[in-house]
C-alpha cells in the first residue's frame, strides 16, 4: 500500500476562492436527478445526472471528459461517499453505488492518472468538513470504528491492489494461534518489525512452565508488518515458515526470518487473544486494525465496515504453502543471471580514465559501437520465473528486463562484440 | 552411489555414511591456556600441567599426551605425582583433591580420575582449618601430607584418601615446642611448605608462613629441630645430602640452615647459617621458589625465581641460575608459574641437566650442560600465539622435496637452539607414522607466517617467514633481545619466544595461499599488501617493487579514512634462505585483503578487498584485471576498516592485562580470603544476570543492495571449465561478494612459448546475483563426474585424476544461507540446499574434503564440509548437495573459535580453543590423528626405595620389607575403605579390573623379557 497522502488536491481554501465555473449545467433538484459537482485540478463543473439508468461507467467517464474538455487524458475518478471518504469509481458497480448514495450532491474528483497515485482513504475528506460544513455528508454516530479512529487508513488505487498478507491455515491451527503470511515481493516497503527474547508460559501436564520464547518487540510505522494489522507487539513467535522456533536463539530466529523474508510465514500466538480467528462465519472484527488486506484469502475474518473495492477473494491458501519447495515463491527463480561473453572488458591502459563499471542503480549508457572480439557467442539474459519478484528488489535489474537493454558506450573500448547486448549490474 | 539412490536403498546409504563419517575431537595442539600448576615425575619422565579451567595435561616423549578434565570448573593449583607410581594428585582452587591414574586399556594408556577427597575439619571449625596450602606426596607412595591455612598438617592415606587422624600434626603440638624466644610463636600462620628429608623419609620439614620451620619426625610424632627464621617464608628446599635446608623469603632473601644442629658445635652452626639477599641493598621482591642441586664434581647449582629489586626490575619475571662463577637471570616475557630441574642418571640423582620453566604463555627448557645454557626447542607445547594468530591455511600431502626444503630453511633459523635431545621421554608413542606430510600455516599479527608440521600429534614448528623486512616499520631492527650490556646487574638474559606486541598492526597476515607443487606462496595483509614469494635455498638480495592497484577504478567521492599503506623499502633487502618475496601488489585503498587465490600453473594471483578484486600476472608483473565491486552508497566500506580499530583496542587490552597480571602475581593464592572471593563472584554473577536482562532486539528485514559491505569480496576461485560453450573449456576466475553476487571472468592465457611476452586477458563472462543476497563464501566447479576440480598442478604431478572434461560441469555456489548448484556453461539453477531458512544457522567456514570408507580401500567420495555460526559441522554430499551428517563441534558463543576454523582436504579440521591452542577434530573414519600411547608403571617399585635408603645402612633393608607389608595392608585398607565409603570407587575398581590385569600381564611379560 502506498501511504503518502496528498492533501493539496482537495484543499478547501483554494476551492472556495475559485471563480465559478464558466458553463453551468442547469441544476434541478428533482428526485430523479442527481446533482453532480466534479472537480478537475482547479476547475469545477456542476451538472445533473439521472439517478436511474444513467448508463455505465464508461459513459460517465466520457461525459466527464467532455465536460472538462480533457480528451485524451487518462483519468482517475473518485467520489466522496456519505462518510466523507474518498472512494474510487472505476467500474459500473461502484459508479452506480456512487450515484445511488449521492445525497443530495455527488462530488466527483478527477485526477490525472500519471504521476503519483492518488490516495484513497477512509477519512481523507474529513478535513473538508470545517471549511465546507459537509457534516450533512456524514450521518453522526455512524458507528464505524474508522470514524473514531484518529489515524487515517489509506486505500490505494485499485490497480495497485495486491496481496500483502494473509491469514492461512485457520482450519488446522488452534484458535489461539495465527499463521500470517507476509508478501514482500514487489514492494519496497520494509518488513518493519523487531523481535526480542522473552519468557513464555506454557501449560503442560506437569503444570505451568516458563520457557524462553521469541516475541515481536516493535513494529515500524508504515512497515509491512504494521500495515497488515495481523501482527502486534508482544505476539509470541512460534514458527517461521513452518519450522518450530522452540529452543532456537534469537539470532537463529532472526536469520531464519531474514532468509525467508521474500515469503515470510510466521505463526504467532497473539498477545491480544480477543481478536482470535474463530472458524468460519464469525463476524468478529479485527479490532481497530481494520486490516487493509485486500485479499482476505481465507475470507473468514475481515469484516470491513466501509464498502471496500477489494472484496474479491483469492483462493484459500492451503497449509502446504509453507512447505519447502513452494514453487510459487521459491527464490530459485529470483536469481538474476547475466551471461554475456563481453560484459565489460578490463583494459589496463584506460582503466583509470574509464568508468568501466556500472554499479547498482546506475543505468548504462546507450549506444552501439563496433567490436572486434573473438568468436561470436550467444549471450542471454535469463530471468526465469517471477519477474515481478525481482523487480522490486533491484531497480537496475528492471531496467535490464524491460527491454531497455542498453549497451555501454565506451568508445575507447573496441573489444565489445558487434551484437553484444551490454548488461551491467 | 547414484545407483543406490535410484533404487531407493536408503539403508545402504546410511551404512555407507557410517563407513565414511565419524566425528571426534582428537588432540589439542599448542600451549594450554592459562596454566596454573606444573608437576613432573622423574620416574615416569612425564610432565603434567594443570590449567585454570580445571584441565590436566600430561606430556612425555613426543606423541605421548594425555588429557583430563576435572568436573569442577576450578583452577588446578598444585599437581604432585606419587613417587614411583602412575598416580597423580591434583589440588584445585575449591580445596578438593583428586587422584588420577594412567590405566592401560587394550594396550593404550588412559588418564582416569579414580578418586576425590575434601578435608573435613572438626565441627564448627572455620574453613581455613582445612584449606590446603601445601601438599607433600610422601616417598613411600602411601601418604599425603596436607598443610593447611590454619597451620595444621593432615596425614591422608592414598590412594583411598583415608584420613589418618592419629598422625595429624596439629598446630598446638608444634607451637608447644617452639622455643620461647621465637618472636613469632604466637601466630605461626599457614603451612607454606612441606618437604621430606631426601635421606630419611620419616623426617619432614614444615615451613610456616611466619618463617618458622620445624623438622618433624613422622614416626616418633615429635619435633626434632626448630629453625627460627623470622622473615615471611616463601619456599623451602632440603639439600640432597639432607644436611641443609634452604629457605627463601618475601624480602628477597634466602637462608641456609644446618640440619641436626644439636650435635654440632656453636661455631660451626654460625658459619653455616648464612643469609643472603642476592639482588640486595634496595628492597627486593620475594624469592618464590629456591632449589639447590649438587653436581658430582664442583659446587652445586642454585636456582631461584624472583628476588628482583622491587623498584627497578619489579616487573620482570626472572629465574636466577648460579653455578660456579656463572650467574644468569633468565628473563621471561610472562609470569612464572613453576619450574623444575631434570637431572641425569636413571634414578634422577645425577647432575642437573635441564631446567624446565612453565611461564604463563609458554614452556621454556634450558640446557644446563651446554656452554651458554642454550634453550632447547620444544617438540610440543609451542606457543602458537607468540604473536596473535590472524589466519591459517592447511596444506595436505606435501611433496617430499618441498618438505625437505622447508625443513632445511627452518633449521638455519634454529641455530641458536641446543642440540640436546628432548629430555622428557616418558611413555611410548604407539601411533602409526603419519600417512602423509601435512603443513599448517598460521599468519600472525606481526607479519610472520609460521609453518607447522601438522602430520601427527605434535604440532612441530618447521619454519618461520617474516614479511616485515620488506617494509619500513617503526621498530628499530637492532632493538631486539640482545640488548643487555656487559656487566649489567642483574645479568639478564631474555628467553622464550612469546612476544605478542606487534610493531605495526598493518603487517598482520590476513590470507595465505601456498602451492605445494611449485613452492610459490602468496600472503596478504591488513594494509592491502599482497606478497608473492618463492622458495629459495640460498640467501639473496632483492629489491621488492610495489605495484599499486587502484581498486576504486576512478569512482568519485571517496575518502579513505583507514590506515595508510605500508612503506616499502626501496633499497635491496637481504633475504635468508626460505621463502623470498619477489612481487608486491599494493591495493589502493589499502584495505584488509579479504580473499586471495594463487594459480601457480597460470602464474596468476587474484586478490580482493572490500572495494573490489584484481588479477595479477606475477610472471609479467602486470595487472590483468581490476573490478570494483563497491556500492557507491556504502559509506562504511569507504571510510576504512574496523580491524585497525580493533587492533588498537586489542593491544591496549593486552597491555592492561599485563599490568594487572603483574599486580596479581604479587599476592599468593592462599592470601585470598575465600569468603571475599565468593562475594566477588556473586557480585559478578548478579551483574551478568542484569546484563542479560537488558532487552535485546533484532530487526527483521530483507537484505538489500544498500546494506553495508555488499561489495566485499569473500571468495576467489580459479577453474578450468566451460564458461562459454560446452565444447571448449577455458581458464576462468570466479569471485563471490558479501552482497550475494558472483562474477565470472574468462581468462585467455598465451601459449607456453609466449607466456612471457603476450598479455593475459580477462573478459567478463557471467554475473549472478543471488536473490537472497547472502554473502557468497565459496565457489566450486564440479567436473563431469561430479567431483571438484583438482588443484593447479595436481594433475601435472600425477597426484590427482584429471578432471572429466566430457560430461557437463556444474557450479556450486555456497552462500552463508544455502548451497546452490548451477549448470555450466549456461548458468541455470539445478538444485539447492537451504540451510538458514530451515534451521537458522549460517555457514561460517567451508571446505572441500575427500572421505574414504573405512571398510573398503577403494571407495571414497568428495563432499563439502562446513561449520555454522551455531558451531556445528556438517557434511554435504557432492554433486547432489544433500545433507549427510552433522555434529556439534564448537560452542556457539565461541565466536573466535568458529572464525579460526580451518578444514583439511581429508575431513579433519582445526580451530582455536584459546589464543594458544588448536583443537584438532576429524570427520573422517579413515583419516584420524590422535595420540595413542602407553605409559608403564616404574618396574622396580621397591628398588628405588632401597637405593634412596642406602645411606641409612643396615636399617634400610628392614624398612623396605616393612614397607612391603605396609603396602599390602594399606591396599587392604583402601579396599575396605572403598567398600565402606565410596561405592563409586568400588565400581571404578571393578570396571577396570580387566584392564589392570592386562597391564599387569604385560608388565610381567616385559619383566621376563628383561
The domain of B77 spans: 31-118
Listed residue (B83, B103, B141, B81) closest to B1000, CA to CA: B103
Q: Which one of B935, B959, B985 terminates a domain? A: B935
pLDDT of residue B744: 94
Q: Is residue A304 part of a domain?
A: no
Q: Which of B555-569, B677-691, B781-795, B860-874 has the lowest mean pLDDT?
A: B677-691
Can you read off the three cell numbers belonging to residue B614? 584484481
User: Residue A124 pLDDT more than 70?
Assistant: no
Provide the number of structural domains found in chain A. 2
Res. B648 pLDDT band, cuts 50 70 90: low
- Residues in chain A within 8 Å Cβ distance of B827: 337, 339, 382
Q: Which residues contact B372 (CB under 8 A, 6 or more apart)?
A: none
- Residues in chain A within 8 Å Cβ distance of B771: 262, 331, 333-336, 389-390, 393
DSSP code of A355?
-
B-contacting residues in A 40-79 (Cβ below 8 Å): none
Q: Is residue B772 part of a domain?
A: no
User: Residue A155 pLDDT more than 50?
Assistant: yes
In this prediction, what percent of chain B has a pLDDT beyond 90?
A: 40
- A187 vs A13, higher pLDDT: A187
Q: Is residue A53 part of a domain?
A: yes
Which residue of chain B has the CA closest to A266?
Answer: B700
Res. B89 pLDDT band, cuts 50 70 90: very high
In this prediction, what percent of chain A has a pLDDT beyond 70?
A: 46
> Can you say how many angstroms the Cα of residue B68 is from the centroid of all Cα atoms in its chain?
15
pLDDT of residue B259: 83
User: Residue B731 pLDDT more than 70?
Assistant: yes
Q: Which of A223-237, B164-178, B768-782 has the lowest mean pLDDT?
A: B164-178
CATH assignment at residue A255: 2.30.42.10
Convert the pLDDT of each residue in B657-673 to its tens digit: 555 554 444 444 444 45
- B993 vs A328, higher pLDDT: B993
Are B701 and A241 a contacting pair at CB < 8 A? no
Q: In this predicted complex, what is the ipTM?
A: 0.76
pLDDT of residue A300: 35
For residues B924-935, average pLDDT: 87
User: Residue A225 pLDDT more than 80?
Assistant: yes
User: Residue B965 pLDDT more than 80?
Assistant: no
User: Residue B558 pLDDT more than 80?
Assistant: no
pLDDT of residue B592: 92
Query: Maximum distance among all alpha carbons in chain B?
Result: 105
- A421 vs B62, higher pLDDT: B62
For residues A319-328, average pLDDT: 42
Q: CA–CA separation, B962 vs B177, rounded Å?
A: 30
Are B554 and A353 a contacting pair at CB < 8 A? yes
pLDDT of residue A311: 35
Q: Which one of A275, A304, A336 terminates a domain? A: A275
Quick check: B770 contacting A, CB < 8 Å?
A: yes
Cβ count within 10 A of residue B541: 10
For residues B374-381, average pLDDT: 91
Q: CA–CA separation, A74 vs A67, rounded Å?
A: 15
Q: Is residue A107 part of a domain?
A: yes
Quick check: B912 contacting A, CB < 8 Å?
A: no
- Residues in chain B within 8 Å Cβ distance of A217: 695, 697
pLDDT of residue A277: 56
Provide the number of structural domains found in chain B. 3
CATH assignment at residue B114: 2.40.10
User: Residue B617 pLDDT more than 50?
Assistant: yes
Half-sphere exposure of B282 (CA within 13 A, CB side): 9
Judgement on whether residues A258 and A184 belong to the same structural domain of the protein: yes
Convert the pLDDT of each residue in B381-440 to its tens digit: 988 888 889 999 999 889 999 999 999 999 998 888 988 999 998 888 888 888 889 999
pLDDT of residue A127: 45
Q: Is residue B582 part of a domain?
A: yes
Res. A71 pLDDT band, cuts 50 70 90: confident
Q: Which of A241-245, B265-269, B397-401, B789-793 has the lowest mean pLDDT?
A: B265-269
pLDDT of residue B443: 94
Quick check: B831 contacting A, CB < 8 Å?
A: no
pLDDT of residue A384: 43
Q: Is residue B103 part of a domain?
A: yes
Q: How far is B834 from chain A (nearest CA, A)?
A: 9
pLDDT of residue A240: 92
User: Residue B964 pLDDT more than 60?
Assistant: no
pLDDT of residue A394: 38
Task: Return the top range by mean pLDDT from A108-122, A140-154, A171-185.
Answer: A171-185
Q: Which residues contact B733 (CB under 8 A, 6 or more apart)?
A: B604, B606, B615, B625, B716, B717, B718, B744, B745, B747, B762
Q: Which one of B628, B658, B673 terminates a domain? A: B628
Q: Is residue A395 part of a domain?
A: no
Quick check: B262 contacting A, CB < 8 Å?
A: no
Q: CA–CA separation, B783 vs B805, rounded Å?
A: 7
pLDDT of residue A101: 79
Q: Which one of B118, B151, B186 terminates a domain? A: B118
Q: Which one of A219, A251, A275 terminates a domain? A: A275
- Residues in chain B within 8 Å Cβ distance of A333: 771, 829
- B90 vs B11, higher pLDDT: B90
User: Residue B728 pLDDT more than 70?
Assistant: yes
pLDDT of residue B580: 93
Quick check: B703 contacting A, CB < 8 Å?
A: yes
For residues B803-814, average pLDDT: 86
User: Residue B886 pLDDT more than 90?
Assistant: yes
For residues A109-114, average pLDDT: 78
Are A191 and B702 a contacting pair at CB < 8 A? yes
pLDDT of residue A393: 38
pLDDT of residue B133: 93
Listed residue (B54, B52, B51) closest to B72, CA to CA: B54
Reduce the DSSP state of residue B663 to 3 states and report it. helix
pLDDT of residue A99: 82
Q: Is residue A25 part of a domain?
A: no
CA B929, B511, B642, A194 dihedral sign is negative
In the numeric block, the cell 547486448 is attached to A421
- Residues in chain B within 8 Å Cβ distance of A262: 702, 771-772
pLDDT of residue B453: 93
Convert the pLDDT of each residue in B166-198 to its tens digit: 888 888 888 877 777 776 667 778 899 999 988
B-contacting residues in A 332-361 (Cβ below 8 Å): 332-346, 348, 351-357, 359-361
Contacts 24+ apart (CB under 8 A), B963-966: B963/B140, B966/B140, B966/B142
Helices and strands in chain A, H and E counts: 9, 16
Q: Is residue B588 part of a domain?
A: yes
Res. B487 pLDDT band, cuts 50 70 90: low
pLDDT of residue A187: 66
For residues B694-710, average pLDDT: 78
User: Residue B504 pLDDT more than 80?
Assistant: yes
Of A195, A249, A335, the CB nearest to B769: A335
Mean pLDDT of chain B: 82
Quick check: A171 contacting B, CB < 8 Å?
A: no
Of A217, A258, A425, the CB nearest to B741: A425
Res. B799 pLDDT band, cuts 50 70 90: low
Q: Is residue A125 part of a domain?
A: no
Listed residue (B173, B291, B172) closest to B238, CA to CA: B291
In this prediction, what percent of chain A has a pLDDT beyond 90?
A: 5
- Residues in chain A within 8 Å Cβ distance of B883: none
Query: Which of B629, B837, B883, B888 to probe by mutation at the A interface, max A CB count within 10 Å?
Result: B837
Quick check: A327 contacting B, CB < 8 Å?
A: no
The domain of A252 spans: 165-275
Of B631, B697, B826, the CB nearest to A339: B826
pLDDT of residue B434: 85
User: Residue B885 pLDDT more than 60?
Assistant: yes
Of B628, B725, B840, the CB nearest to A377: B725
Query: Which of A199, A213, A255 to probe by mutation at the B interface, max B CB count within 10 Å?
Result: A255
> Is the pTM higher than 0.80?
no
In this prediction, what percent of chain B has a pLDDT beyond 70?
A: 82
Angle between helices B941-949 and B955-981 (to 10 degrees): 140
For residues A39-49, average pLDDT: 85
Q: Is residue A410 part of a domain?
A: no
Q: Which of B335-349, B495-509, B708-722, B930-944 has the lowest mean pLDDT?
A: B930-944
Q: Is residue A313 part of a domain?
A: no
Rounded to the nearest 5 degrees, what angle is found at the Cα of B206, between the Cα atoms of B225 and B125? 125
Which residue of chain A has the CA closest to B767?
Answer: A338
Q: CA–CA separation, A397 vs A392, rounded Å?
A: 9
Of B553, B700, B765, the CB nearest to A195: B700
CATH assignment at residue A87: 3.10.20.90
User: Residue B284 pLDDT more than 70?
Assistant: yes
Res. B295 pLDDT band, cuts 50 70 90: confident
Task: Return the top range by mean pLDDT from A179-183, A398-402, B221-225, B577-581.
Answer: B577-581
Can you read off the three cell numbers belonging to residue A63? 461525459
- B213 vs B961, higher pLDDT: B213
User: Residue A235 pLDDT more than 60?
Assistant: yes
Judgement on whether residues A180 and A252 belong to the same structural domain of the protein: yes
Quick check: A252 contacting B, CB < 8 Å?
A: yes
Judgement on whether residues A104 and A193 belong to the same structural domain of the protein: no
pLDDT of residue B31: 92
B-contacting residues in A 207-226 (Cβ below 8 Å): 217-218
End-to-end CA distance of chain A: 28
3-state secondary structure B29-53: EECCCCEEEEEEECCCCEEEEEECC
User: Residue A411 pLDDT more than 80?
Assistant: no
B441 beta partners:
B393, B451
Convert the pLDDT of each residue in B124-143 to its tens digit: 888 888 899 999 999 888 88
Convert the pLDDT of each residue in B602-612 to its tens digit: 999 999 998 89
Convert the pLDDT of each residue in B7-60 to its tens digit: 556 788 888 888 899 999 988 999 999 999 999 998 889 999 999 999 999 999
Q: Which one of A48, A81, A112 terminates a domain? A: A112
For residues A187-199, average pLDDT: 84
Amino acid at each position: 500500500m502506498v501511504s503518502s497522502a496528498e492533501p493539496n488536491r482537495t484543499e478547501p481554501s483554494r476551492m472556495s476562492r475559485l471563480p465559478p465555473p464558466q458553463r453551468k449545467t442547469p441544476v434541478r433538484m428533482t428526485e430523479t436527478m442527481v446533482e453532480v459537482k466534479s472537480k478537475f485540478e482547479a476547475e469545477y463543473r456542476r451538472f445533473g445526472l439521472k439517478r436511474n439508468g444513467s448508463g455505465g461507467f464508461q459513459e460517465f467517464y466520457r461525459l466527464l471528459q467532455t465536460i472538462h474538455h480533457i480528451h485524451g487524458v487518462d483519468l482517475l475518478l473518485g467520489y466522496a461517499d456519505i462518510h466523507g471518504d474518498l472512494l474510487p469509481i472505476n467500474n459500473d458497480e461502484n459508479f452506480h453505488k456512487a450515484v445511488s448514495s449521492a445525497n443530495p450532491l455527488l462530488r466527483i474528483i478527477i485526477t490525472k492518472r500519471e504521476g503519483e497515485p492518488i490516495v484513497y482513504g477512509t477519512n481523507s475528506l474529513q478535513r473538508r468538513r470545517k471549511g465546507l460544513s459537509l457534516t450533512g455528508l456524514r450521518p453522526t454516530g455512524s458507528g464505524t470504528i474508522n470514524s473514531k479512529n484518529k489515524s487515517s487508513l489509506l486505500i490505494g488505487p485499485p490497480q495497485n491492489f495486491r496481496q500483502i498478507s494473509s491469514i492461512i491455515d485457520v482450519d488446522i491451527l488452534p484458535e489461539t494461534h495465527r499463521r500470517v503470511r507476509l508478501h514482500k515481493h514487489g514492494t519496497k516497503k520494509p518488513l518493519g518489525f523487531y523481535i526480542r527474547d522473552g519468557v513464555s508460559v506454557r501449560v503442560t501436564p506437569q503444570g505451568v512452565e516458563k520457557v524462553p520464547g521469541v516475541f515481536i518487540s516493535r513494529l515500524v510505522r508504515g512497515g509491512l508488518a504494521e500495515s497488515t494489522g495481523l501482527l502486534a507487539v508482544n505476539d509470541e513467535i512460534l514458527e517461521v515458515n513452518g519450522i518450530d522456533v522452540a529452543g532456537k536463539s534469537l539470532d537463529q530466529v532472526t536469520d531464519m526470518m531474514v532468509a525467508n523474508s521474500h515469503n515470510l510465514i510466521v505463526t504467532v500466538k497473539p498477545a491480544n487473544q480477543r481478536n482470535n480467528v474463530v472458524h468460519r462465519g464469525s463476524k468478529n472484527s479485527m479490532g481497530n486494525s481494520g486490516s487493509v488486506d485486500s485479499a482476505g484469502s481465507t475470507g473468514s475474518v475481515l469484516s470491513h465496515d466501509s464498502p471496500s473495492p477489494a472484496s474479491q477473494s483469492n483462493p484459500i491458501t492451503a497449509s502446504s504453502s509453507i512447505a519447502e519447495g513452494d514453487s510459487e515463491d521459491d527464490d530459485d527463480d529470483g536469481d538474476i543471471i547475466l551471461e554475456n561473453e563481453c560484459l565489460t572488458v578490463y583494459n589496463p591502459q584506460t582503466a583509470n580514465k574509464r568508468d568501466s563499471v556500472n554499479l547498482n542503480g546506475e543505468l548504462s549508457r546507450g549506444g552501439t559501437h563496433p567490436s572486434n572480439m573473438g568468436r561470436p557467442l550467444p549471450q542471454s539474459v535469463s530471468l526465469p520465473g517471477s519477474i515481478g519478484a525481482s523487480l522490486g528488489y533491484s531497480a537496475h535489474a528492471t531496467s535490464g528486463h524491460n527491454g531497455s537493454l542498453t549497451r555501454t558506450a565506451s568508445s575507447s573500448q573496441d573489444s565489445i562484440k558487434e551484437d553484444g547486448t551490454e548488461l551491467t549490474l | 552411489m547414484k545407483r543406490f539412490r535410484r533404487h531407493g536403498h536408503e539403508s545402504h546409504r546410511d551404512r555407507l555414511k557410517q563407513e565414511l563419517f565419524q566425528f571426534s575431537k582428537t588432540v589439542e595442539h599448542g600451549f594450554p591456556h592459562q596454566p596454573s600448576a606444573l608437576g613432573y615425575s622423574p620416574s615416569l619422565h612425564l610432565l603434567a600441567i594443570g590449567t585454570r579451567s580445571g584441565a590436566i595435561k600430561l606430556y612425555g616423549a613426543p606423541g605421548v599426551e594425555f588429557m583430563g578434565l576435572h568436573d569442577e570448573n576450578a583452577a588446578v593449583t598444585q599437581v604432585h605425582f606419587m613417587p614411583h607410581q602412575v598416580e597423580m594428585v591434583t589440588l584445585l582452587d575449591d580445596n578438593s583433591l583428586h587422584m588420577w591414574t594412567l590405566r592401560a586399556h587394550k594396550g593404550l594408556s588412559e588418564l582416569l580420575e579414580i578418586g576425590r577427597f575434601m578435608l573435613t575439619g572438626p565441627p564448627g571449625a572455620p574453613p581455613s582449618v582445612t584449606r590446603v596450602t601445601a601438599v607433600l606426596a610422601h616417598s613411600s607412595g602411601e601418604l599425603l601430607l596436607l598443610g593447611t591455612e590454619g597451620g595444621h598438617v593432615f596425614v591422608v592415606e592414598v590412594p583411598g584418601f583415608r584420613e589418618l587422624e592419629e598422625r595429624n600434626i596439629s598446630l598446638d603440638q608444634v607451637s608447644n615446642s617452639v622455643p620461647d624466644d621465637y618472636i613469632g610463636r604466637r601466630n605461626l600462620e599457614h603451612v607454606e611448605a612441606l618437604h621430606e628429608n631426601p635421606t630419611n623419609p620419616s623426617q619432614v620439614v614444615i615451613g610456616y608462613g611466619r618463617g618458622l620451620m620445624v623438622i618433624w619426625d613422622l614416626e616418633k610424632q615429635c619435633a626434632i629441630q626448630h629453625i627460627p627464621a623470622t622473615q615471611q617464608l616463601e619456599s623451602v628446599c632440603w639439600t640432597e645430602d639432607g644436611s641443609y635446608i634452604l629457605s627463601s623469603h618475601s624480602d628477597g632473601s634466602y637462608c641456609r640452615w644446618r640440619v641436626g644442629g644439636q650435635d654440632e658445635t656453636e661455631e660451626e652452626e654460625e658459619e653455616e647459617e648464612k643469609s643472603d639477599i642476592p639482588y640486595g641493598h634496595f628492597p627486593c621482591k620475594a624469592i618464590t621458589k629456591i632449589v639447590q642441586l649438587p653436581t658430582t664434581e664442583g659446587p652445586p647449582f642454585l636456582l631461584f625465581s624472583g628476588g628482583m629489586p622491587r623498584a627497578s626490575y619489579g616487573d620482570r619475571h626472572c629465574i636466577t641460575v648460579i653455578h660456579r662463577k656463572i650467574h644468569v637471570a633468565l628473563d621471561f616475557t610472562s609470569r612464572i608459574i613453576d619450574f623444575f630441574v631434570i637431572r641425569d642418571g636413571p634414578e634422577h640423582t645425577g647432575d642437573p641437566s635441564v631446567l624446565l620453566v612453565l611461564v604463563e604463555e609458554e614452556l621454556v627448557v634450558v640446557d644446563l650442560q651446554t656452554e651458554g645454557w642454550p634453550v632447547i626447542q620444544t617438540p610440543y607445547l609451542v606457543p602458537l600465539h607468540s604473536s596473535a594468530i590472524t589466519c591459517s591455511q592447511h596444506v595436505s600431502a606435501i611433496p617430499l622435496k618441498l618438505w625437505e626444503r622447508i625443513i632445511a630453511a627452518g633449521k638455519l633459523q634454529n641455530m641458536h637452539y641446543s642440540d640436546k635431545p628432548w629430555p622428557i621421554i616418558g611413555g611410548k608413542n604407539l601411533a602409526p607414522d603419519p600417512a602423509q606430510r601435512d603443513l599448517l600455516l598460521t599468519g600472525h599479527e606481526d607479519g610472520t607466517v609460521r609453518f607447522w608440521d601438522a602430520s601427527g600429534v605434535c604440532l612441530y614448528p618447521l619454519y618461520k617467514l617474516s614479511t616485515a623486512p620488506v617494509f619500513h616499520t617503526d621498530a628499530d631492527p637492532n632493538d631486539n633481545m640482545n640488548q643487555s650490556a656487559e656487566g649489567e646487574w642483574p645479568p639478564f638474559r631474555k628467553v622464550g619466544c612469546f612476544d605478542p606486541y606487534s610493531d605495526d598492526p598493518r603487517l598482520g597476515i590476513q590470507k595465505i595461499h601456498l602451492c605445494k607443487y611449485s613452492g610459490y606462496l602468496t600472503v596478504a595483509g591488513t594494509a592491502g599488501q599482497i606478497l608473492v614469494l618463492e622458495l629459495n635455498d640460498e640467501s639473496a638480495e632483492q629489491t621488492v617493487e610495489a605495484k599499486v592497484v587502484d581498486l576504486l577504478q576512478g569512482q568519485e567521492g571517496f575518502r579513505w579514512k583507514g590506515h595508510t599503506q605500508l612503506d616499502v623499502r626501496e633499497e635491496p633487502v637481504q633475504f635468508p634462505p626460505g621463502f623470498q618475496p619477489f612481487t608486491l601488489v599494493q591495493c589502493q585503498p589499502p584495505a584488509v585483503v579479504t580473499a586471495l587465490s594463487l594459480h601457480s600453473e597460470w602464474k596468476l594471483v587474484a586478490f580482493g578487498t572490500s572495494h573490489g578484486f584484481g588479477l595479477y600476472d606475477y610472471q609479467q608483473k602486470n595487472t590483468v584485471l581490476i573490478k570494483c565491486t563497491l556500492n557507491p552508497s556504502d559509506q562504511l566500506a569507504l571510510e576504512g576498516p574496523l580491524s585497525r580499530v580493533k587492533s588498537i583496542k586489542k593491544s591496549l587490552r593486552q597491555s592492561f592485562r599485563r599490568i594487572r597480571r603483574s599486580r596479581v602475581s604479587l599476592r599468593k593464592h592462599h592470601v585470598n580470603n575465600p569468603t571475599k572471593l565468593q562475594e566477588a563472584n556473586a557480585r559478578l554473577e548478579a551483574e551478568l544476570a542484569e546484563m542479560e536482562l537488558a532487552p535485546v532486539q533484532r530487526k527483521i528485514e530483507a537484505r538489500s543492495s544498500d546494506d553495508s559491505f555488499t561489495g566485499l569480496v569473500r571468495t576467489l576461485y580459479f577453474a578450468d571449465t566451460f564458461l562459454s560453450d560446452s565444447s571448449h573449456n577455458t581458464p576462468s576466475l570466479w569471485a563471490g561478494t558479501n552482497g550475494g553476487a558472483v562474477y565470472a571472468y574468462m581468462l585467455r592465457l598465451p601459449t607456453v612459448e609466449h607466456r612471457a611476452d603476450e598479455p593475459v586477458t580477462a573478459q567478463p563472462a557471467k554475473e549472478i546475483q543471488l536473490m537472497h543476497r547472502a554473502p557468497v563464501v565459496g565457489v566450486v566447479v564440479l567436473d563431469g563426474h561430479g567431483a571438484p576440480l583438482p588443484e593447479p598442478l595436481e594433475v601435472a604431478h600425477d597426484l590427482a585424476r584429471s578432471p572429466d572434461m566430457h560430461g557437463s560441469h556444474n557450479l556450486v555456489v555456497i552462500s552463508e544461507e544455502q548451497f546452490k548448484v548451477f549448470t555450466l556453461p549456461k548458468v541455470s539453477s539445478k538444485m539447492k540446499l537451504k540451510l538458514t531458512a530451515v534451521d537458522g544457522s549460517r555457514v561460517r567456514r567451508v571446505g572441500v574434503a575427500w572421505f574414504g570408507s573405512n571398510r573398503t580401500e577403494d571407495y571414497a567420495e568428495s563432499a563439502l564440509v562446513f561449520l555454522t555460526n551455531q558451531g556445528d559441522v556438517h557434511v554435504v554430499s557432492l554433486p547432489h548437495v544433500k545433507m549427510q551428517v552433522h555434529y556439534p563441534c564448537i560452542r556457539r558463543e565461541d565466536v573466535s573459535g568458529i572464525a579460526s576454523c580451518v578444514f583439511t582436504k581429508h575431513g579433519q579440521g582445526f580451530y582455536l580453543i584459546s589464543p594458544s591452542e588448536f583443537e584438532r577434530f576429524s570427520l573422517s573414519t579413515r583419516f584420524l590423528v590422535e595420540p595413542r600411547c602407553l605409559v608403564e608403571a616404574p618396574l622396580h617399585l621397591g628398588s628405588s626405595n632401597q637405593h634412596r635408603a642406602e645411606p641409612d645402612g643396615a636399617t634400610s633393608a628392614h624398612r623396605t620389607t616393612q614397607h612391603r607389608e605396609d603396602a599390602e595392608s594399606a591396599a587392604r585398607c583402601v579396599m575396605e575403605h572403598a567398600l565402606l565409603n565410596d561405592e563409586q570407587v568400588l565400581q571404578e575398581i571393578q570396571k577396570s579390573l580387566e584392564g589392570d590385569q592386562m597391564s599387569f600381564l604385560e608388565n610381567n611379560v616385559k619383566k621376563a623379557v628383561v
